Amino acid sequence: MLAEVALPLPLFRTFTYAVPERLRHPLVPGSRVVVPLRTGKEVGIYLGPGDPRSLGSAAPKAILDAPDAEPSVTPALLAVCRWIADYYIVPLGVALRCALPALLTGAAAPEPAQRTRRVATVRRHLESLLHRERIFGRAPQQRALFELLESFGGRAAVDHLTERMAFSPSVLKGLVARGLVEVRDEIVARDPFASRAGSATPPVPSAEQRAAVEAIAAGRGGETFLLHGVTGSGKTLVYIELLRQVLARGRGAIVLVPEIALTPQTVDRFRGAFGDQVAVLHSALSDGERYDAWLALRRGEKRIAVGARSAIFAPVADLGAVVVDEEHESSYKQGESPRYHAREVAIVRARAEGAVVVLGSATPSLESWTNAASGKYRLLTLPERVGGARLPAVDVIDLRVGIPRSTLDAPRLPDPSVERGALTVEGVLSRELQLALADRIEKGEQSILLLNRRGYAAYVQCNNCGDVATCPNCSIALTYHRTPEQLVCHYCLHTEPPRVKCARCGGPTLRQRGLGTQQVERILAERFPAARIARMDVDTTGAKWAHTEILDRVARGEVDILLGTQMIAKGLDFPNVTLVGVIDADTGINLPDFRASERCFQLLSQVAGRAGRGPKGGRVLIQTRVPTHHAVRCAVRHDYGAFVGEELPSRMAPAYPPAVRLANVVISGTDETATAELAQKAATWVERLLARAPGDAVRLVGPAPCPVERIKQRWRWHFLLKAERPAELTRVARYFLERFAVPKRAGLRVALDRDPVAL
């Protein structure tokens, strides 16, 4: 007897093994099998009887073990992975890895999971600046580390400080020796959500919410609904009431959120409503805990899986509904192979299991919107905020006229940071925004400030020759960070000490240019010394639960101003936030990406939606230099329809999604010339292939260097394939990936990204 087995290898084929007489368990499609591979072993998935014609002259090797009593991959998930393999053009064995928890991918018995980690905690608080200067006079590194710890709320994992933030362990030792910091082993909480109270009993749904729930609950299996509800319209309650009905029918559900750590309130609401029946699949789970959750869902002991992108593969028994909250979020697309989009996988899986799908958003992706317009999805609308709350008034502050006079007129200050190009209060916060912030602080209300750029200054430039400090590995400017003081590449995380001289001309006149969250934080602290300010960006949230801690502080009213990157725009529901300020709406609007305007509109609408969720109402101030751009204009009026009306035509010529389907073929390598040559060769190869087929079902655009030409020492070129019909695109892309020969030198690689979210 022969068996067909899928293995996670970069080969577009399955493998044939002999089935021995004796195996621990019978083989069913979806069963894990341990097979010999070269000199070792590998875990694969049994697909069915093998085809003798696939064998060469050598006798097939035998399967070593079938460790599971029940198949690890259910028939429905097997079908979903086959679709992923086909659509995203990856080997089936690679797609199937998505469906297995990490513990089941190794041939060895699972190790007991590591449950402790070393944590550094601030032991002494230093109140006065003077005190600080005295203590740290000759130890600037210690000071930087100490202040970093403070910015993390006084504690952080040691690994994070020494590895990610690149502090030498001796600096930390120094702080410990001086009694300023303490380091201990801490037990990692088994389930950090277990200790969080689920939020109180949900409110009674309004008539509009009930109508939406009934429509979805009555949906056919496989039917997809687009729930377009303005911010604060109560979409979460619609999901909860739907799930109540699904559970009452004895079925289960999956709820996808963009990122668990950023949406603790949403997760709490589900736990509040369904308690122990919910498995929260977050990134802080150990492999063992993840496996526990996987088993509990598989056995039907838990009925609801809540998680980010990968939760779409949760083995929920008898799936009745899938919710994709904030369906427009690009985090639903996986950045590495298989490059699937969880929203598309959700729809395929729901069809396979007879479940309904709800895509929820205040700012749906144009793809989903056109699918609703064409009748592929059913559109449901919640046009109003619940409980009589109104959408906040939005005002634009035109930075072009508002060029702060004071900075132009001011005499040169002796402040050395100004010398280095640092910005002043007036250069960053318009008068209106300053007044509005002061007013909220006085009234005890809260404000949210968005600046979608982390670090202190966007780049460092020589005032003499204009040279910009760039990463040695990537073609991207280094960002200046102040705590700790270093230059950081946001692509490869390369860090280096701040430069004192220009690398090109040797001049001493380096200036910091462009604004980052760290600098805004400094400016806010100067302008509002009494305010409690919290900063939330990738740098402050490295420790696993740092996000949640910051958001909890906001919820408890311990923060006056929450400043952050796009992280703060997602789903937060704080009724005491009455002011939202956007420091610079223009970051991102000019990126070389056809979705730049759409992203900008979504971000502005989402962050504006954080204001005025309570009875006190709210106001939004947007600072911009492009007030007439449609992304800004339409966000100001909360007018999604108008935005779509202006944006869609711009996607027609040249054609971009949703007008066409796209695949981005990226050619990368360590040698610049070899990469460019291979890109040319590949594009010519595809062109010839297309020329042989009649019509122009698939078109090729490019090749050209990628917008960021070099990342992590690899040069990058790309070309696009465009098609009206997805099947044609699949055919051409598959033919190319399977036959085009990539030379085995200069680290050359060809990767295909179907439906890319970024070019």
Residues that bind Zn ion (CB under 5 A): 471, 473-474, 489, 491-492, 494
Q: Is 471 annotated as a binding residue?
A: yes
Helix (H) or strand (E) holding 181: strand 181-187
When binding is defined by CB under 6 A, the residue of 35, 94, 216, 237 that contacts ligand ADP is 237
675-694 residues near ligand ADP, rule: CB under 6 A: none
Does 235 help bind ligand ADP (rule: CB under 6 A)? Answer: yes
The gap from C-alpha 175 to its chain's centroid, in whole angstroms, comes to: 35
First-residue to last-residue Cα distance in the chain: 47
Query: How far apart are alpha carbons 268 and 262 in whole angstroms?
Result: 12
Least distance (Å) between residue 489 CB and Zn ion: 3
Q: What angle do CA 423, 426, 427 make, to 5 degrees?
A: 40
Query: What DSSP assignment string belongs to 518-534?
Result: HHHHHHHHHH-TTS-EE
When binding is defined by CB under 6 A, the residue of 44, 234, 258, 404 that contacts ligand ADP is 234
When binding is defined by CB under 6 A, the residue of 16, 31, 233, 605 that contacts ligand ADP is 233
Q: Is 474 annotated as a binding residue?
A: yes
Secondary structure of residue 721 in the 3-state scheme: strand
Q: Is 492 annotated as a binding residue?
A: yes
547-576 residues near ligand ADP, rule: CB under 6 A: 573
Least distance (Å) between residue 421 CB and ligand ADP: 39
Among 168-176, 190-198, 231-239, 400-408, which window interacts with ligand ADP (CB under 6 A)?
231-239
Query: How far apart are alpha carbons 303 and 484 in whole angstroms?
Result: 45
Pick one of Zn ion, ligand ADP, none as the site partner of residue 491 (Cβ within 5 to 8 A by kind): Zn ion
Q: Is 98 annotated as a binding residue?
A: no
Cβ-based nearer residue to Zn ion, 89 or 711: 711
Handedness of CA 562, 568, 569, 571 (dihedral sign): negative
Least distance (Å) between residue 252 CB and ligand ADP: 22
When binding is defined by CB under 6 A, the residue of 162, 236, 371, 541 that contacts ligand ADP is 236
Query: How far apart are alpha carbons 143 and 383 in whole angstroms?
Result: 51
Helix (H) or strand (E) holding 156: strand 155-157
Q: Is 489 annotated as a binding residue?
A: yes
Pick one of ligand ADP, Zn ion, none as the site partner of residue 474 (Cβ within 5 to 8 A by kind): Zn ion
Does 286 help bind ligand ADP (rule: CB under 6 A)? Answer: no
Cβ-based nearer residue to ligand ADP, 204 or 530: 204
Cβ-based nearer residue to ligand ADP, 73 or 611: 611
Q: Which of 133, 148, 200, 111 is nearest to 535 (CA)?
A: 148
At 715, which amino acid appears?
A: W
Secondary structure of residue 174 in the 3-state scheme: helix
Cβ-based nearer residue to Zn ion, 477 or 502: 477
Show the site string, 195-214: x = touches ligand ADP by CB under 6 A, - = not. Answer: --------xxxx--x-----
Least distance (Å) between residue 265 CB and ligand ADP: 7
Residue 26, classified by CB atoms within 10 Å of its CB into exposed (0-12), middle (13-18) or buried (19+), is exposed
Cβ-based nearer residue to Zn ion, 492 or 751: 492
Contact at 8 Å (CB) between 292 and 243? no
Least distance (Å) between residue 493 CB and Zn ion: 7
Least distance (Å) between residue 90 CB and Zn ion: 27
Least distance (Å) between residue 279 CB and ligand ADP: 21
Does 387 help bind ligand ADP (rule: CB under 6 A)? Answer: yes
Among 14-22, 225-233, 346-354, 635-643, which window interacts with ligand ADP (CB under 6 A)?
225-233
Cα–Cα distances (Å) from 290 to 296, 453, 475, in that order, read: 10, 33, 38
Cβ-based nearer residue to ligand ADP, 392 or 669: 392
Query: How far apart are alpha carbons 357 and 380 in whole angstroms?
Result: 12
Cβ-based nearer residue to Zn ion, 635 or 711: 711
Cβ-based nearer residue to ligand ADP, 232 or 669: 232
Give CB contacts under 8 A, 24+ apart, made by 739-748.
740/682, 740/685, 740/686, 742/678, 743/674, 743/678, 745/671, 745/674, 746/669, 746/670, 746/671, 746/674, 746/675, 747/668, 747/669, 747/670, 747/671, 747/714, 748/667, 748/668, 748/669, 748/674, 748/675, 748/678
Q: Is 465 annotated as a binding residue?
A: yes
Cβ-based nearer residue to Zn ion, 494 or 619: 494
Pick one of ligand ADP, Zn ion, none as the site partner of residue 494 (Cβ within 5 to 8 A by kind): Zn ion
Buried b (16+ CB within 10 A) or exposed e, 55-70: eeeeebeebbbbbbee
Pick one of Zn ion, ligand ADP, none as the site partner of residue 473 (Cβ within 5 to 8 A by kind): Zn ion
Cβ-based nearer residue to ligand ADP, 360 or 542: 360
Tokens representing residue 474 in the block: 């990537």
Contact at 8 Å (CB) between 376 and 658? no
Least distance (Å) between residue 429 CB and ligand ADP: 27
Query: How far apart are alpha carbons 649 and 662 in whole angstroms?
Result: 17
List residues binding ligand ADP (CB under 6 A).
Answer: 203-206, 209, 229, 231-237, 386-387, 573
Annotated binding site for Zn(2+): 462, 465, 471, 474, 489, 492, 502, 505
